[in-house]
Amino acid sequence: MKKIRFAGVALALVSSVAMAQSAGDTYKAKCAMCHGADGTAATSIGKSMKIASFKSPEMIKLSDAAMIASTKNGKGKMPAYAGKLSDSQIKAVVAYIRTLQK
């Protein structure tokens, strides 16, 4: 019985790590060119478009739902990712962005 519980915990940990790596890969592929690898938007595109840093107080205050909606529907010059990314990918990327805010 202990082996089964251990296997379940190990599987959950591996799944969490895989999801975090996948979200980071998605962020790098779809978001980093504008928002920067660290989320500060210190890229040439980020600067020219005056994109706010994810570390700014106004971005930290945004709810996950607001960030998910912006990602799905687009905002300003940011393209919509509905249909390009799944709902679970978008939620995972928002969770990844939260790690950049720390």
pLDDT at residue 5 greater than cutoff 60: no
pTM, two decimals, is: 0.78
pLDDT for the residue 24: 94
Quick check: 12 pLDDT over 90?
A: no
Q: Which domains does the chain have, with CATH numbers?
A: 2-100 (1.10.760.10)
Residue 13's pLDDT is: 38
What is the tens place of the pLDDT at every residue in 31-56?
Answer: 999 999 999 999 999 999 999 999 99
**Do 53 and 41 meet the contact criterion of CB atoms below 8 Å apart?**
yes
User: Averaged over 84-100, what is the pLDDT?
Assistant: 97
**Among the listed residues 19, 42, 18, 22, the one whose alpha carbon sits nearest the alpha carbon of residue 32:** 42
